[in-house]
Amino acid sequence: MPDRIEKPPPRRLAKSLLLTLPVLLWALLMFSGTLMLPGRASKAAALLALSFMVTLFLLMMRTRETHRWRRVFFVALGFLFPIGFVWELIAVRGSMSIPIEQMLAGNTPFCFLAIPMMIVPAALTRTIIFPGTILPTPGNPHSIAVMIGLWLAATIVLGKGWCSFGCFFGGLEEGFSTLARKARIRNISAKWRLVPWAVLAAIVLLSAATFEPVYCTWLCPFKTVTEYVEVRSLETAVQAGIFLSLFAGLVVALPVLTKKRTQCAFFCPFGAFQSLFNKTNIFDIRIDRGKCADCVSCQRSCPIQALDKASVDAGKTLLSCMRCGACVDACHKQAAFWHIKGTAAGAAPERARLMYLYAAWGFATMFGGSIIAGSLEKLLGFLG
Amino acid sequence: MSGERQREEANQHDDMSIKWRDALGRLDKGSDQVVPYAAEAVLLGLSSGPACLTSCGPVVVPWLAAEGRGFAGTAVRLTVFLCGRLAGYLLFAALLWTLGLALPMPPRPRALIFGAVHVALAAALAWYALARRRGAGLQPAALVTLQAKPPGPRSTPALLGLLTGLNLCPPFLAAAVRAAESPSLPSALLFFFVFFFGTLVWFPPLILLGALRRRTAVAQVARITLVILAAYYAYLGLISLGGVLLSA
Q: How does pLDDT run across B49-71, given as a tens digit for each residue?
A: 888 888 889 999 999 999 888 99
Nearest-neighbour CA in chain B from A322: distance (Å) = 20
SS3 A137: strand
Which one is predicted more confidently, A298 or B177? A298
Give the A window 168-197 contacts with B, CB below 8 Å.
191, 194-195, 197
Of B50, B61, B225, the CB nearest to A198: B225
- The percentage of chain A sitting over the pLDDT mark of 70, rounded to a whole number, equals 98
Q: Is B38 helix (H, G, I), strand (E, B) or coil?
A: helix
pLDDT band at B101 (very low <50, low <70, confident <90, very high): low
- Residue to mutate among B168, B169, B228, B241, with most A CBs inside 10 A, is B228
Tally A–B CB contacts below 8 A: 52
Interface test with A, best of B55, B216, B225 (most A CBs within 10 A): B225
**A228-229/A283-287 β-pairing:** unpaired
Question: Which pLDDT belongs to residue B146?
Answer: 40
Write out pLDDT tens, residues A208-251: 998 899 999 999 999 999 887 788 888 889 999 999 999 999 99
**What's the predicted TM-score (pTM) here?**
0.87
Report pLDDT digits (tens) over A326-376: 999 999 999 999 999 999 988 899 999 999 999 999 999 999 999 999 999
Question: What is the pLDDT at residue A337?
Answer: 96
Residue A96 pLDDT grade (very low, low, confident, very high; cuts 50, 70, 90): confident
pLDDT mean over B157-185: 76
pLDDT of A230 reads 80
Q: Within an 8 Å CB–CB cutoff, is residue A119 touching chain B? A: no
* Residues B227 and B111: beta-carbon distance below 8 Å: no
Q: Are B228 and A202 an interchain contact pair (Cβ–Cβ within 8 Å)?
A: yes
Q: Which residues of B touch A (CB under 8 A)?
A: 50, 54-55, 57-58, 61-62, 169, 217, 220-222, 224-225, 227-229, 232, 235, 239
How high is the pLDDT of residue A382?
85
Separation in Å, CA of B136 to nearest CA in chain A: 20
Count Cα atoms within 13 angstroms, Cβ side, for B202: 22
Tell me the chain A residues in contact with residue B169 when contact means C-beta distances shorter than 8 Å. 209
> Rounded distance, CA A165 to CA A69, Å?
11
Does the structure show a pLDDT above 80 at A263? yes
By residue count, chain B amounts to 248
Of A198, A209, A234, the CB nearest to B224: A198
Query: Which ipTM value was assigned to this complex?
Result: 0.90
The candidate with the shortest Cα–Cα distance to A107, out of A81, A143, A82, is A143
* Whether the predicted pLDDT of B173 surpasses 90: no
Of B50, B217, B221, the CB nearest to A201: B221
Describe the crossing of helices A349-366 and A144-158 by its angle, rounded to 10 degrees: 170
Q: Is the pLDDT of residue B22 over 60?
A: no
B220, B227, B232 ranked by CB distance to A206: nearest: B232
DSSP H stretches of helix in A64-194 = 67-93, 100-104, 115-125, 144-158, 162-165, 170-177
CB A20 within 8 A of CB A349: no
- A122 to chain B, any CB pair closer than 8 A? The answer is no
Residue A206 at interface with chain B, using a CB cutoff of 8 Å = yes
Question: pLDDT-based confidence at A5, cuts 50/70/90?
Answer: very low
